[in-house]
């Protein structure tokens, strides 16, 4: 079951809460897939993921700018890569490809977990070292 757990914490409450929301969206897709309704809700999940990641990435990027984070460029490049891929999946779905649920879920989960555990944690450590919480 896809769900947030404390090992994903980046030690910054607002970012953790947003990651929880994103993983909850993926958990809903997983639950629907297990019930044979993955293709049915995929479009809706992608809409929500795209909308929420925009908001979430803005939060992180705003903090990076405020606190002059040195690795901003690399971090932003990962966000852009994610947005491009999620948008592409959304376009495939809109074009009628309904069998994308598993690929989508796999991509979104792998990307999200890898990004949280490496790139976002690194940023979280930077904020903690600066005394920002």
Q: Which residues bind Fe ion (CB under 5 A)?
A: 60, 120
- DSSP secondary structure code for residue 98 in this structure: -
Q: Are 96 and 118 in contact (CB under 8 A)?
A: no
DSSP string, 104-120: HHHHHHHHHHHHIIIII
DSSP string, 56-97: HHHHHHHHHHHTT-TTHHHHHHHHHHHHHHHHHHHHHHHTT-
CB of 38 to Fe ion, least distance (A): 26
Q: Which is nearer to Fe ion, 94 or 133 (CB)?
A: 133
CB of 75 to Fe ion, least distance (A): 6
CB of 96 to Fe ion, least distance (A): 32
Q: Which is nearer to Fe ion, 16 or 60 (CB)?
A: 60
CA 43, CA 109: separation in Å to the nearest integer? Answer: 16
CA 99, CA 101: separation in Å to the nearest integer? Answer: 6
Q: Which is nearer to Fe ion, 79 or 90 (CB)?
A: 79
CB of 32 to Fe ion, least distance (A): 26
Q: Which is nearer to Fe ion, 4 or 93 (CB)?
A: 4
């Amino acid at each position: 079951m896809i769900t947030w757990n404390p090992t994903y914490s980046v030690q910054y409450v607002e970012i953790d809460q947003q990651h929880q929301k994103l993983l909850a969206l993926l958990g809903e897709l997983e639950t629907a897939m297990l019930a044979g309704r993955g293709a049915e809700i995929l479009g809706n999940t992608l809409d929500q993921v795209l909308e929420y990641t925009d908001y979430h990435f803005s939060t992180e990027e705003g903090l990076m700018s405020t606190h002059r984070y040195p690795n901003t460029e690399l971090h932003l490049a990962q966000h852009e890569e994610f947005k491009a891929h999620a948008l592409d999946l959304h376009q495939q779905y809109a074009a009628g490809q309904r069998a994308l649920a598993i690929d989508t879920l796999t991509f979104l989960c792998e990307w999200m977990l890898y990004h949280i555990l490496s790139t976002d944690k690194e940023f979280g450590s930077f904020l903690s070292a600066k005394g920002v919480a």
